[in-house]
Amino acid sequence: MSAGRELASWAARAERTRGRRVAEPPPVHRSEYQRDRDRIVHSTAFRRLMYKTQVFVNHDGDMYRTRLTHSLEVAQVGRTVARALGLDEDLTEAISIAHDLGHTPFGHAGQDALNACMREHGGFEHNLQSLRVVDELEERYAGFNGLNLTFEAREGILKHCSAANARQLGALGERFLARTQPGLEAQLANLADGIAYNNHDVDDGLRSGLISVEQLATVAAFRRNWSATAAAHPGLASRRAVHETVRRMIGELVGDLIEESARRIAAAGVVTIDDVRALHEPLVGFSAERQAEVVELKRFLRQELYQHERVRSMTAMAQRVVSDLFQAWRATPSLLPPDHAEAVTRAAAADGASGEARAVADYLAGMTDRFALAEHARLFGATDWPQSGGAGLPSIPT
């Protein structure tokens, strides 16, 4: 809901939500989507995002993004676009701050390691895990497991899903089988995620010294905005010039996203969210020209930053920490804290080895980077891990 502002007819309507899994009385002073957002803010998983890796391991330095600050940046971009397009800002924000709740410690390296551990038990996928956190794993309410969010928030959190998993998710899985779309707030949060991480990874990458302005000058969007900054502000200190350039890059993408999405919405002639959901292509998107630049920037970051040898050294560490802990707890569940040991026993009784493995994966996925490292040290003794990224690296000159 956006108090005092008209929502577009194709926006999600809190008063017409497809509802919660467990029926609850409507909120008195908030909309249904505000309640979703508030429940996420109060969740344990949300607080833990503060100590989870985005690209640089959380203990590398205080200046880098973590999953928490990343999620807040996604929400900022999302709300701006939502307001401009007449979409529900609170729902957009709820999806934005919940989208990474299921992320393991150590970023994608941690997810890949846990996925390998779970290979024979259905695998592990952080996006599906985010839904599991809000549907099952949070234990904060007397009347239900999880946060009991609205269908629209859950629809937005589940960005992608295999056909096999979709078949087990009921109404939420239907669109993956029918190849249709979620509501516009969900489409938007997905793209806001990309705008946030591409641009903050440029900033963090430069700060770490792992990539340089000279390298980034091969990327059209960076080159254009760096030059424009230099022309408008000759002699600007380079740290500030980087921030100004990144600010301009985000501004360009947000502007393009608003204009192109408005154009597509008008051209499609949709009236309600159900019209949006029936389509086979998303309506929220960049112009072709901007999309090509986004792809170019993503490719640059993958090659030069995410696969930088000092970032990849984290992969080896994450694999060892995650798989050592997983094997240890599978072999001896009594090494877990009592309530998690009980959860593993219950899951084993209900679903056998796969249930047991899933309960261990849930516990591991919920950990912060530093807690996983501390648990590893407790069970396996101190290890001299290599530095993954930023610590001790030169920061960019000012």
Of 69 and 180, the one with the shorter C-beta distance to Mg ion is 69
Of 285 and 355, the one with the shorter C-beta distance to Mg ion is 285
Q: Decide: 307 and 212 in contact? Cβ < 8 Å.
A: no
How many C-beta atoms lie closer than 10 Å to residue 10's C-beta?
A: 21
Q: Closest approach of Cβ 100 to Mg ion, in Å?
A: 5
Name the one range near Mg ion by CB under 5 A: 169-177, 190-198, 311-319, 337-345: 190-198
Q: Closest approach of Cβ 54 to Mg ion, in Å?
A: 8
Q: Which of 134, 150, 135 is nearest to 14 (CA)?
A: 150
Q: Closest approach of Cβ 320 to Mg ion, in Å?
A: 25
Site for Mg ion in 244-283 (CB under 5 A): none
Name the one range near Mg ion by CB under 5 A: 96-104, 256-264, 290-298, 311-319: 96-104
Binding residue (CB under 5 A) for Mg ion from 193, 260, 356, 362: 193
Q: Which two tokens mark 241? A: 């010039």
Of 101 and 273, the one with the shorter C-beta distance to Mg ion is 101
* Residues sharing a CB contact under 8 Å with residue 249, sequence separation 6 or more, in sequence order: 199, 202, 221, 222, 225
Quote the CA–CA distance of 217 and 236 in Å, as a whole number. Answer: 17
Q: Closest approach of Cβ 96 to Mg ion, in Å?
A: 9
Of 88 and 193, the one with the shorter C-beta distance to Mg ion is 193
Quote the CA–CA distance of 136 and 144 in Å, as a whole number. Answer: 9
* Residues sharing a CB contact under 8 Å with residue 376, sequence separation 6 or more, in sequence order: 321, 324, 325, 383
What secondary structure does DSSP assign to 104-151, as a single string? PTTHHHHHHHHHHHTGGGT---HHHHHHHIIIII----SSSSS---BH
Name the one range near Mg ion by CB under 5 A: 117-125, 162-170, 187-195, 229-237: 187-195
Told to check if 100 binds Mg ion by CB under 5 A, we report yes
Told to check if 125 binds Mg ion by CB under 5 A, we report no
Q: Closest approach of Cβ 52 to Mg ion, in Å?
A: 11
Name the one range near Mg ion by CB under 5 A: 6-14, 90-98, 185-193, 341-349: 185-193
Q: Decide: 74 and 130 in contact? Cβ < 8 Å.
A: no
Of 35 and 159, the one with the shorter C-beta distance to Mg ion is 159
Of 100 and 125, the one with the shorter C-beta distance to Mg ion is 100
Q: Decide: 54 and 67 in contact? Cβ < 8 Å.
A: yes
Q: Closest approach of Cβ 104 to Mg ion, in Å?
A: 13
Quote the CA–CA distance of 220 and 226 in Å, as a whole number. Answer: 10
Quote the CA–CA distance of 293 and 64 in Å, as a whole number. Answer: 24
CA atoms within 13 Å, Cβ hemisphere of 221: 25
| Total residues interacting with Mg ion, rule: CB under 5 A | 2
Integer CA distances (angstroms), 260 to 101, 242, 288, in order? 30, 27, 9
Q: Which of 222, 227, 229 is nearest to 199 (CA)?
A: 222
Q: Closest approach of Cβ 99 to Mg ion, in Å?
A: 6
Q: Closest approach of Cβ 252 to Mg ion, in Å?
A: 20
* Residues sharing a CB contact under 8 Å with residue 267, sequence separation 6 or more, in sequence order: none
Told to check if 204 binds Mg ion by CB under 5 A, we report no
Q: Closest approach of Cβ 189 to Mg ion, in Å?
A: 9
Quote the CA–CA distance of 318 and 53 in Å, as a whole number. Answer: 11
Of 193 and 204, the one with the shorter C-beta distance to Mg ion is 193
Name the one range near Mg ion by CB under 5 A: 120-128, 132-140, 191-199, 292-300: 191-199
Q: Which two tokens mark 95? A: 């999806």
Name the one range near Mg ion by CB under 5 A: 2-10, 97-105, 308-316, 325-333: 97-105
Q: Closest approach of Cβ 81 to Mg ion, in Å?
A: 16
Name the one range near Mg ion by CB under 5 A: 93-101, 242-250, 336-344, 355-363: 93-101
Amino acid making up residue 164:
A
Of 52 and 248, the one with the shorter C-beta distance to Mg ion is 52
Of 90 and 193, the one with the shorter C-beta distance to Mg ion is 193
Q: Give the CB-nearest residue to Mg ion.
A: 193
Of 61 and 102, the one with the shorter C-beta distance to Mg ion is 102
| Residues in contact with Mg ion by the rule CB under 5 A | 100, 193
